[in-house]
Amino acid sequence: MSMIQVQNLTKIYGATPAIENLHFSVEMGEIVGFLGPNGAGKTTTMRILAGALGATKGNALIGGVDVYRDPRTVKQMVGYLPETPPLYADMTVRSYLRFCARVKHAENPRRAVEDVIDRVALATVSHRLIGHLSKGFRQRVGLAQALVHSPKVLILDEPASGLDPAQRVEIRELVRELSAGDVTVVLSTHVLPEVEAICKRVVIIHQGQIVAQDEVTNLQGGGRSIRIRVARPPEDGVEKLRAIQGVGTVERPERDVFQVEAGSDVREDVARVAVDWGLLELGSRRGLEEAFLQLTAEKKVGA
């Protein structure tokens, strides 16, 4: 079931389109990375999905409910963490979250607040003024307000901003846990390893238009572009690798390195052959970062 459906979504500021004719969907329980360079239209799209901004034309549906026609129902289903969290510096963490729980009509607001404080690890600072917190803790409070009403959809704009590596791992595991419980997540971040770690699929936007929608493994090469380094390279190594079913071309840029291009995922078969040669390294030549840079390097037609 599609939890998020976007059809022909367009937003124009004056004469300038921020996004044009976006079409994509997100299934229930899916974690999708929403990627693009600065100014690509990511934040505009996420604000529309969260009901915080109107579209010029097109439709956005959350759980089958039109964001424009019934924004109150949509906001009860959506938790939104903008890049700059909407915090009140002169409130304590607990009082702010209780306010958010009431505004968002959380069931049993006090229990909801205590649960989210525990889930996002805010217990040690729950009595402190938000304005006195570090950037990392403020980011956690922002995430807590997005979660306090147990939404079915989470829209997260740079959720790990300001967090140290250990905290990033905690947030990553929390997102995974939520997704396993059928929460649908749209995640925007510039930290592409985070996307590779938790997202199965990505939507890439550039200059207001979608330039790619695919699974992360496909954009990485999906086992189709493989580089291996071996300790004992045979003279006929190129021929032996070419004999593997599905392999197209094989190059040998260095004496102990082979580059394999294939039409399918052949990593297991390549490893089986290369292990007898003293396999030292096996990896994909192309990562998500390289694919992202290639897809967003070209200008739009007519630009």
* pLDDT at 289 (0 to 100): 80
Whether the per-residue pLDDT at 128 is higher than 90: the answer is yes
208 inside domain: yes
pTM here is 0.78
Mean pLDDT across 239-268? 91
C-alpha closest to that of 11 among 67, 73, 62, 63: 67
Q: 287 pairs with which residues across the strands?
A: none
Answer yes or no: do 236 and 210 share one domain.
no
Q: Is 184 left (phi over 0), alpha (psi -120 to 50) or beta?
A: beta
Length of the chain, in residues: 303
109 inside domain: no
Domain count, the chain: 2
Asked if 216 and 202 count as a contact pair (C-beta separation under 8 A), the reply is yes
Answer yes or no: do 193 and 160 share one domain.
yes
Answer yes or no: do 157 and 214 share one domain.
yes
267-289: pLDDT as tens digits:
899 999 999 999 999 876 566 88
Question: Which residues, in sequence order, are CB contacts of 142 under 8 Å at separation 6+?
Answer: 81, 82, 85, 86, 87
* pLDDT at 217 (0 to 100): 78
Placement of tokens 């699929």 in the chain: 201
184 inside domain: yes
Range of the domain at 43: 2-84+149-218
249 inside domain: yes
Answer yes or no: do 205 and 230 share one domain.
no
Four-residue CA torsion sign, 187, 192, 194, 197: positive
CATH number at residue 243: 3.30.70.100
Answer yes or no: do 153 and 168 share one domain.
yes
Answer yes or no: do 235 and 192 share one domain.
no
Asked if 152 and 63 count as a contact pair (C-beta separation under 8 A), the reply is yes
Whether the per-residue pLDDT at 254 is higher than 90: the answer is yes
Answer yes or no: do 79 and 160 share one domain.
yes
85 burial type by CB count under 10 A (0-12 exposed, 13-18 middle, 19+ buried):
buried
295 inside domain: no
Give the helix ranges, DSSP H, for 68-132. Answer: 71-77, 93-103, 109-119
Answer yes or no: do 169 and 248 share one domain.
no
98 inside domain: no
